Structure formats: C-alpha cells, structure tokens
Amino acid sequence: MGFQFFNPHARTAFTLDPSGKVHKRIKDEEHLAFIRQLPSLISGIQGCEACHVRYGDPRHRKPRTGKGVKPDDAWTVPLTPEEHRLQHSMNEQAYWQSVGIDPLEVAIQLYAVSGDIEAGRAIIMKARNETK
C-alpha cells in the first residue's frame, strides 16, 4: 500500500476547468476600496460596490465560482447597487453580453492600476465608450 502510481486516465487527470480544484481565495481590501471609488462600468454613476465576476473564462485563466464562493478580489468591477443586484439575478454571462462589456478584461486592467483613480477612470471610460 506504500506505492501508488499516477493514473492518467482518471476523470480529473487532465481537466481544463480548474474550478474543482481547491484554491484559497485571494483577498485584497485595498483593491476593493479602490474599485468602490470608481464610476460604474455600466452607467458611469458614482456610488459603486465592488462586484465580483463569478463566471469562468479560460481566455483569462479565470476559474468559475459558484454561489456562496467569491472569486479572488482581483476579479471585481464597479457597479451601482442596482446594477450589481441585476447582474447577480440572471445568467451572469448573458448580462455582460447584453451590455457589450467584457468585465474580466476590465477587471484585469483595473487590478494592474489598482490605487490610481485617474487610470481606473480612464479604463472605465474606454470600456464604456467601446460599447456605443
């Protein structure tokens, strides 16, 4: 019983979806505070919440997370409370497709400039202008 070998044919041996693997969530309160200072990604209105994007996307190496499990704080965008509730009340990917914004790309860009309000606002404005 001491020696066990790797079974390459096991159901999870080569899975491309990392969502089932144990991952300790990365928390970043400073980044969340930064996100809350930005205008809404949808409407441009101030007074936002840090909205965690839960759906996964292999293009961004973002695993999906289910209800009750928040993704890393890097995967957040600013939304008003009303927009945030709407986004979580329906199919999240369908919501973002309906507004024509890739929230994961915006989240990556915002995390890269975290703390720089002017750079964050520029990213939000650019994403909003590209939808028009």
59-75 pLDDT, tens digit per residue, is 767 767 766 777 889 99
Query: Can you tell me which residue has the tokens 């309160």?
Result: 29
pTM of the predicted model, to two decimals? 0.77
- DSSP per position, 19-62: GGS--PPPP-HHHHHHHHTSPPTTT--SS-EEEEP-S-BGGGTB
* 10-residue averages of pLDDT along the chain (132 residues): 48 49 79 98 96 80 70 93 91 91 95 97 95 72
> Residue 22's pLDDT is what?
59
